[in-house]
């Protein structure tokens, strides 16, 4: 006699798991414009690659004879899968089962998912919807007492941040532990209209609970408390997208730039963009009038492998652009000034963004390309109140501590301490400057009248004297004068930027491969 009866029960339990929270709850999830947990796993993973672990875990229901009548599955799914052909741990919260609250779950499943990623050195994907394993008020009555909070397995979450790529997708109202799991990642995404994130939801914050007059009122309250427009602009979450499908695509693309774990190198991709491509438009990109702006993103498209630029954190810290891209197929991390926002001046949020991105690049051993047009740290009372200098120095410290190769291209301005943060001046300066370069300890344009006050007051024609002073200083501040003193290494034709950066990428990856 074989084990057919037990296998039949196994299939029955698996069928109960496939039902998730039941037909009505799943339909309600779809009615909100949201995919269910199982559909999300199928969508983000390579087709047919997801192998679920602990599928039949949950709360069994039995009749008076002890026979199984049903199972309420645990509201957390995880397993081994592949993304872009590479192994990952993929997880998804099931909002159809009590909103993913802890009193419906099995904490060990979430702990095991994080531990699996950590011990087997696999990237982990978290698709978070609801409290993400957090508690609910009902839990207290079931336990019969309150408790000092602790998060089982959080140590593995912390360790994963040091060892493997972590991607978090907030795919619904995400509160408490779910919010914490979203933020504890290397790359995070929210979906406009579907995602909100908060330490506690509006019902807790306002003490209103069921007092909302309608579902529309409650939805509006969630948006106002923790919607996309808040958290993708304050740096809590990296990016916003318009749909779940776009979230899955961006998560997959982010991972394409990453190694599978710290200690392994990221992979080169096939390149069809000529290394010697020289864009004529680069010659006129930077305007002669220093008050005019230009598109740094356009510059990036012209010098990096076409179609590979993957910008992160576009809506916060906007004076700097942070992106992954490729040069001759080699993955690189790009930091670029954005002169169209605050003139490119680094304020507190921009500095925080640069620091975080540089640390990420260094951790996963990606060479850094820095495209520089930085007039300095933001000045004024508001900047001082925000602690700009502290955040700015932390960004500079991150650049100095980074051990991966770094190349800088000075397109225009590099002033003050912020300008000096373009690279580590104690190391070999792999640096090229355009003829439009303009640098110094401080911009001279606004200080001429003060510096030459006595000469101007003594002049019979102050305006003519000021014009003569400006003409003299324009010659002194020519980038070629700096090159004479080897204060800058090379001034280049802007059209040569891409070939030279591809050369840098080849040498940088030669070094990284030798160190591996």
- Is the pLDDT reported for residue 210 higher than 80? no
The mean pLDDT value for 250-273 works out to 97
Distance of alpha carbon 294 from alpha carbon 236, whole angstroms: 28
Considering the chain, what is the average pLDDT of its residues?
90
> 165 is written with which tokens?
């790529």
For range 74-92, the mean pLDDT: 97
Q: Looking at residues 297-323, what average pLDDT do you find?
A: 98
pLDDT tens digits, one per residue of 354-367: 999 999 999 999 99
CA distance linking residue 278 with residue 430, whole number of Å: 20
Compute the distance between CA of residue 304 and CA of residue 312 in angstroms, rounded to an integer. Answer: 16
| CA-based radius of gyration for the chain | 28
Distance between CA atoms of residues 115 and 121, nearest Å: 9
Neighbour count for residue 216 (Cβ, 10 Å): 9
* DSSP H/E element including 333: strand 330-337
pLDDT at position 136 is 59
Class level of CATH domain 280-515: alpha beta
pLDDT for 464: 75
Q: Which two tokens stand for residue 189?
A: 């995404």
Would you give the DSSP letter of residue 283? G
pLDDT reported for residue 209: 47
Contact partners, residue 143, CB within 8 Å, separation at least 6: none
For residue 510, pLDDT over 80 is answered with yes
| In the chain, domain spans | 4-256, 280-515
pLDDT at 424: 92
pLDDT at site 98 = 75
Of the listed ranges 103-107, 228-232, 288-292, the one predicted with least confidence: 103-107
How confident is the model at residue 135, as a pLDDT? 58
Residue 160 near residue 118, CB atoms below 8 Å: yes
Rounded to a whole number of angstroms, the distance between the first and last alpha carbons of the chain is 55
What is the CATH number assigned to the segment(s) 4-256?
3.90.226.10
> Residues 100-117: what's their mean pLDDT?
82
Q: What is the pLDDT of residue 218?
A: 59
At residue 501, the pLDDT reads: 98
Distance CA 184, CA 176 (A): 13
Residue with tokens 């500079």: 396
Q: How many CB atoms lie within 10 A of CB 171?
A: 27
């Amino acid at each position: 006699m074989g084990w057919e009866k037990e296998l039949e029960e196994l299939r029955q339990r698996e069928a109960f798991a496939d039902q998730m929270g039941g037909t009505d709850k799943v339909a309600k999830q779809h009615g909100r414009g949201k995919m269910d947990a199982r559909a999300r796993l199928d969508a983000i993973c390579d087709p047919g690659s997801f192998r679920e672990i602990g599928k039949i875990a949950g709360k069994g229901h039995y009749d008076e004879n002890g026979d199984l009548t049903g199972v309420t599955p645990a509201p957390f799914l995880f397993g081994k899968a592949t993304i872009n052909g590479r192994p990952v741990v993929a997880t998804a919260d099931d909002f159809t089962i009590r909103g993913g609250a802890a009193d419906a779950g099995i904490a060990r499943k979430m702990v095991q998912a994080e531990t699996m990623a950590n011990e087997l050195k696999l990237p982990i994907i978290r698709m978070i919807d609801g409290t993400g394993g957090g508690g609910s008020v009902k839990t207290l009555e079931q336990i019969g007492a309150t408790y000092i909070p602790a998060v089982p397995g959080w140590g593995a979450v912390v360790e994963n941040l040091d060892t493997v790529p972590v991607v978090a997708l907030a795919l619904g109202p995400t509160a408490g532990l779910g919010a914490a799991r979203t933020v504890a990642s290397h790359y995070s995404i929210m979906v406009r209209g579907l995602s909100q994130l908060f330490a506690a939801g509006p019902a807790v914050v306002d003490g209103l609970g069921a007092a909302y007059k309608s579902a529309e009122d409650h939805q509006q309250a969630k948006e106002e408390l923790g919607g996309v427009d808040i958290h993708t602009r304050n740096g809590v979450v990296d990016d916003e997208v318009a749909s779940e499908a776009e979230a899955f695509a961006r998560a997959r693309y982010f991972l394409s730039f990453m190694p599978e774990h710290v200690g392994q190198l990221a992979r080169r991709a096939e390149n069809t963009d000529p290394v010697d491509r020289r864009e004529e438009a680069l010659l006129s990109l930077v305007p002669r009038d220093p008050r005019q702006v230009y598109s740094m993103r356009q510059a990036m498209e012209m010098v990096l492998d076409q179609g590979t630029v993957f910008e992160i954190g576009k809506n916060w810290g906007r004076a700097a652009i942070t992106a992954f891209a490729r040069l001759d197929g080699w993955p690189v991390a790009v930091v670029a000034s954005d002169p169209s926002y605050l003139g490119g001046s680094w304020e507190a949020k921009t500095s925080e963004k640069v620091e975080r991105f540089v640390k990420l690049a260094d951790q996963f051993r990606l060479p850094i390309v820095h495209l520089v047009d930085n007039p300095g740290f933001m000045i004024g009372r508001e900047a001082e109140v925000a602690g700009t200098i502290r955040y700015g120095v932390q960004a500079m410290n991150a650049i100095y501590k980074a051990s991966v190769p770094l190349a800088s291209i000075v397109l225009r301005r590099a002033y003050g301490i912020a300008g000096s943060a373009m690279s580590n001046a104690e190391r070999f300066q792999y640096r090229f400057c355009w003829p439009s370069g303009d640098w110094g300890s401080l911009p001279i344009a606004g200080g001429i009248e003060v510096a030459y006050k006595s000469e101007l007051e003594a002049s019979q024609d102050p305006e003519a004297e000021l014009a003569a002073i400006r003409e003299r200083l324009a010659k002194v501040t020519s980038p070629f004068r700096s090159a004479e003193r080897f204060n800058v290494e090379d001034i280049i034709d802007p059209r040569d930027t891409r070939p030279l950066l591809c050369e840098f990428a080849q040498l940088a990856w030669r070094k990284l491969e030798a160190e591996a």
